Structure 1
């Protein structure tokens, strides 16, 4: 049962916070920084032949693996802590779009590092992280497979960037237009109060 206009009334013992937990918000903003850094580093990588190309590649690989493990942690935390309910008056198509876009973001944050790892393996490039941690090859060397994975990595990166822009636009829409608390649920401010679980 949802709160009535005169005040919150709940019939069950379970309550859902209107904000994500502190750990969820920390993971979200940390991953946002890592993802944006990785995307822009990737853009610089493909558009430069300067000597800083090699350290950019090393940083790009490290960020990719970091994001991969962070998203796995985030999925576990999300399954344990749950998520705040979307506003009851949110149109069905917007509700569906919110769910699908989040699933797509999670899928890409898992797929992109794995595809990049496989792509480097097929080109016999070593994957060295944090200075001296060398990962084993994921796939055998293959020029044909490397070309295919490189193209997949590139096009998925463009789709990822488009989804991030859409996510940012949706956040601004909820914060400035609807003002329905969705943005505040992931921001570091806003009141924390109980709400009835979504029906």
Structure 2
């Protein structure tokens, strides 16, 4: 494979599963904040458990990433781009973990149950408080936009590495087209 170092199969699987979940979550979130129709309740009933699934998967991803690391960036990649890559990954992980926790805290502060699959209801993690609920709702709302912008930059960077630099960075997370 031209000497391209790759993430482990588990890391690649988790990356793409989480990517699909987050993409779905972004569309569901947009639908929720732009609708007062009956579909709103359906979207909320999907949004809560999907957020918790993303939280669990993100924590697993973080543990796996800490255990196995990441392939090195190309030696000829300019230092500002390397810094941007590292900082953006820290931000992506932080938001994958923070947004579900903020959402859970927001619902707890509003005394709304967080029901996930199978009828399981998560315990409140914060006391009921209208002002706390409002602050967390605002944080969740605006951080979701930051997350979306960061995801767009992540995709743009991946395409830059795949189509312009052709330096193996995209291939390190892409699907294995040959036997490993």
TM range (shorter): over 0.9
Task: Write the distance in 2 (CA, Å) between the matches of 1:49 and 1:181.
Answer: 46
Gaps spanning 5+ residues in structure 1: where? 1-6, 9-16, 194-199
8 Å contact from structure 1 (residues 19, 192) kept in 2: no
Which residue of 2, 5, 8 corresponds with 1:21? 8
- Structure exhibiting the larger radius of gyration computed from Cα positions: 1
RMSD (Å) for aligned C-alpha atoms:
1.7
Task: Write the distance in 2 (CA, Å) between the matches of 1:82 and 1:31.
Answer: 18
* Corresponding residue pairs, total: 179
1:165 aligns with 2:152: yes
1:98 aligns with 2:85: yes
Residue of structure 2 in register with 1:146 after alignment? 133
Give the 5 Å matches for 1:71-86. Answer: 71-86=58-73
* TM-score (normalised: structure 1): 0.86
1:190, CA displacement in angstroms? Answer: 5.2
Identify if the C-alpha distance between structure 1 residues 54 and 131 changes in structure 2 by more than 3 Å, giving closer, same or farther. farther
Residue of structure 2 in register with 1:63 after alignment? 50
1:131, CA displacement in angstroms? Answer: 3.7
Q: Secondary structure at the match of 1:94?
A: helix
8 Å contact from structure 1 (residues 184, 190) kept in 2: no
Which residue of 38, 41, 54 corresponds with 1:54? 41
Residue of structure 2 in register with 1:128 after alignment? 115
Deviant stretches of 4+, over 6 Å: none
More helix by share: 2
Q: Whose RCO is larger (CA < 8 A, sep 6+)?
A: 1
Task: Write the distance in 1 (CA, Å) between the matches of 2:155 and 2:48.
Answer: 25
1:189, CA displacement in angstroms? Answer: 2.9
